[in-house]
């Protein structure tokens, strides 16, 4: 099955919902980002506080519609 890209998501401990943090086109880039985020906790996009006690996951983008929706409003 073809993948159009990958989403780097996180889940706060004790919660069930995955939150999207980053979208990338390559799996290697997603793996590199997850490894970096595990050792250096990035800030939350809305509050700016560091993300502590989270688990990171890589989810594939499987449809072209989802891919286009995720990249809407991209500044470049």
Model pTM score: 0.85
What average pLDDT is seen over the chain?
91
Whether 13 contacts 37, CB under 8 Å:
no
Q: Which has the higher per-residue pLDDT, 59 or 70?
A: 59
Please tell me the total number of residues recorded for the chain in this structure.
76
Q: For 22-52, what is each residue's pLDDT tens digit?
A: 999 999 999 999 999 999 999 988 899 999 9
The beta strand positions in the chain, using DSSP E, are 5-12, 19-24, 54-61
């Amino acid at each position: 099955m073809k993948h159009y890209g990958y989403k780097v998501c996180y889940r706060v401990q004790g919660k069930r919902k995955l939150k999207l943090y980053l979208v990338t086109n390559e799996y290697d880039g997603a793996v590199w980002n997850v490894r970096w985020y595990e050792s250096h906790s990035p800030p939350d996009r809305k509050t700016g506080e560091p993300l502590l006690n989270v688990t990171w996951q890589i989810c594939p983008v499987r449809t072209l519609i989802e891919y286009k929706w995720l990249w809407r409003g991209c500044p470049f």
